[in-house]
Amino acid sequence: MHEMGLAANVIDIVLAELEKRNIDKSRLTAVKITAGKMMQIVPESLKFGLEIASRAAGMPKAEFIITEAPLKIRCGSCGREECMRRASGAEEFSMACKKCGANTPQITGGREFTIDSIDVAD
Amino acid sequence: MAEIEIAKDIMEENDEIAKEVNGILNSKNIYCINIISSPGAGKTTLLEKTLARLKGKLDCAVIEGDISTPIDRDRLLPHCDRVYQINTDTFGGDCHLSAFMIKDALKEFDLDKIKLLIIENVGNLICPADFEIGEHSKVLLYSLTEGEDKPLKYPVSFNVADVIVVTKMDLLAHLEVDMAKIRENIAKVNARARVIFISSKSGEGLNEWIDYLTTAKKSN
């Protein structure tokens, strides 16, 4: 349950970005976030935390749109790339290459956690 | 309405401080491990044995992370003078250690007198995997009583580990555990980690563990 602390980080960054651009914080209507599968974030929990934190920070109209980015791996042996929607224990879960069988995966995506953009009212 | 591009990494602040911590440790030639596990996997017991064995051979310091109480610090103090306890309930009860906590804790030690810094993270197999704290290696402890499927249930923590230590091996005779399955499931989520099997109680595997700690220092 680290979503509440991360939500506070997001709000701090948004406030700093608004201030940098001289935009009144009450104009904020949306924040778009990408959360990689490897960050183990529960989008609903993060959203819940963000809504509480944004209201407390004087941005009551802000909506939070969280897009999950898949876990991406590249086989270190044959270079085959694979996109895994789940980063958790389905019974057949394995990072070994489905083509050549080598167990030399390199993680190329899924650790991102970014604020991509914000929407502000005119 | 206008859309404004931000493109900002939310973990950046923590990661920057982690880099700073790592830089401080490197400048003092200190090797640092970050120990992660579920609560009750045997982190503190292993550290009691480890510190007792390293006493007089390798200068260690320990940062203990718990939500509350100095119990673990008090357990380790008989074996090592340099133990600092972080209680995350002073930071809102965080379920992991963050880089800024380590940066502050470093001020508690005379860094010129330390060769190995051991950080025992808060017992939790999810959140600590997301937070870099300036360490050189992540060590994951996994006790035999947790079952063969643990690596598959917590693949991220297992995947980020450089070393996986399977603990409580003395219980093998009493449990219905399939060791081949444990090895297989670890390899499914992390094929590169070194795996060490130990029992802090019987001493099995402790030589290999101590060896890892002392050579990790030398290769740095």
Give the per-residue pLDDT at A69: 92
Domains of chain A: 3-69+109-120 (3.30.2320.50)
- State both tokens at A70: 């898949």
Give the per-residue pLDDT at B47: 98
Closest C-alpha to B89, from B97, B81, B99: B97
Tell me how far apart the alpha carbons of residues A75 and A36 are, in angstroms, rounded to a whole number.
Answer: 19
Q: Which residue has tokens 């914080």?
A: A25
Domains of chain B: 25-219 (3.40.50.300)
Higher pLDDT, A95 or A57: A57
**B122 and A CB contact within 8 Å:** no
- Whether this prediction's pTM lies above 0.95 is answered by no
**A67 and B CB contact within 8 Å:** no
Tell me how far apart the alpha carbons of residues A77 and B5 are, in angstroms, rounded to a whole number.
Answer: 37
Q: Is A98 helix (H, G, I), strand (E, B) or coil?
A: coil
Give the per-residue pLDDT at B1: 87
Instruction: Count Cβ neighbours within 10 Å for each residue of B3-31 and write b for 16 or more, e otherwise.
Output: eeebebebbebbeebbebbbebbeebebb
Contacts of A38 in chain B (CB under 8 A): 156, 159
Give the per-residue pLDDT at A96: 84
How far lies B156's CA from each of A116, B79, B96, B128, in Å? Answer: 24, 33, 15, 10
Residue A105 has pLDDT above 70, yes or no: yes
ipTM over 0.85: yes
Asked if B13 and A96 come within 8 Å (Cβ–Cβ), the reply is no
Contacts of B94 in chain A (CB under 8 A): 2, 5
How near does any CA of chain A get to the CA of B187, in Å? 8
Tell me how far apart the alpha carbons of residues B75 and B67 are, in angstroms, rounded to a whole number.
Answer: 16
Tell me how far apart the alpha carbons of residues B75 and A14 are, in angstroms, rounded to a whole number.
Answer: 43
Whether the Cβ atoms of residue A66 and residue B10 lie closer than 8 Å to each other: no
- State both tokens at A74: 């590249």
Give the per-residue pLDDT at B220: 43
Instruction: Count Cβ neighbours within 10 Å for each residue of B54-74 and write b for 16 or more, e otherwise.
Output: beeebbbbbbbbbbeeeebbe
Give the per-residue pLDDT at A98: 86
Size of interface A-B (CB pairs under 8 A): 96
**How would you write the pLDDT of chain B (220 residues) with one tens digit per residue?**
899 999 999 999 999 999 999 999 999 999 999 999 999 999 999 999 999 999 999 999 999 999 999 999 999 999 999 999 999 988 778 889 999 999 999 999 999 999 999 999 999 999 999 999 999 999 999 999 999 999 988 888 999 999 999 999 999 999 999 999 999 999 988 999 999 999 999 999 999 999 999 998 655 4
DSSP for B37-78, please give it.
E-TTSSHHHHHHHHHHHHTTTS-EEEEEEESS-SHHHHHHTT
Q: Which residues contact B115 (CB under 8 A, 6 or more apart)?
A: B29, B30, B31, B58, B59, B60, B217
Contacts of B6 in chain A (CB under 8 A): 13-14, 17, 115-118
Minimal Cβ distance to A89: which of B92, B95, B152: B152
